[in-house]
Amino acid sequence: MMKVRVRRFVPLTLGLALGGLLVSAAPAGAQPKDVVDTALAAGTFKTLATALQAAGLVEILKGPGPFTVFAPTDDAFAKIPKADLDALLKDKAKLTAVLTYHVFAGNANSADLKALKDLSTVHGGRIKIDASKGLRVDNATVIKADVPASNGVIHVVDTVLMPK
């Protein structure tokens, strides 16, 4: 049986400030960074960082967690038409809903995810998981899995997930 550690918390207090998602692990002997600092260090999550700050979600993701974050890259955000993305960034309620849809309150690595058909997000929705051809969550492909952080794990995705 798979072990997925779950922790409840209020979605609006989520504070997910992921800026530049992870692409590299911490050097040997170094303490891992939290999910936010790990993302910021990667440099390919500038839009996500901007969105997290606009939604006021940074401090929560710097908290104890654990968090599983499905982090869309800048290229993923670029798939959204500019006018639609600009409107989303100005609508705090909708932006918060989209961002919290990318977070699971618990620690789920790729092996855990492959054993599931879906997963509840902080937003309250459920993302579908398909491991038949790689690893997909809803309509996004996980392009880098299992990036460790001190308070959880990050899975880099190629598409922004939209709540249903």
Domains of the chain: 5-22+32-157 (2.30.180.10)
The rounded average pLDDT for each run of 10 residues, N- to C-terminus, in the chain (164 residues) is 42 34 44 84 90 91 93 97 96 96 96 96 96 95 96 97 93
Instruction: Report pLDDT digits (tens) over 24-35.
Output: 344 555 667 988
pLDDT of residue 28: 52
- Rounded Cα distance between 7 and 12, Å, is 15
pLDDT of residue 125: 95
Q: Which helix (H) or strand (E) holds 61?
A: helix 58-61
Q: Which helix (H) or strand (E) holds 71?
A: strand 67-72
Rounded to a whole number of angstroms, the CA Rg of the chain reads 14
Peptide linkage before 66 cis (omega within 30 of 0)? yes
**Spacing of C-alpha 132 from chain mean position:** 21
- Rounded Cα distance between 29 and 15, Å, is 28
- Rounded Cα distance between 24 and 22, Å, is 6
Helix axis angle for 46-55 and 92-100, nearest 10°, is 120
pLDDT of residue 164: 84
- Rounded Cα distance between 24 and 77, Å, is 21
* Paired tokens of 41: 């260090």
- CA atoms in the 13 A half-sphere facing the CB of 122: 31
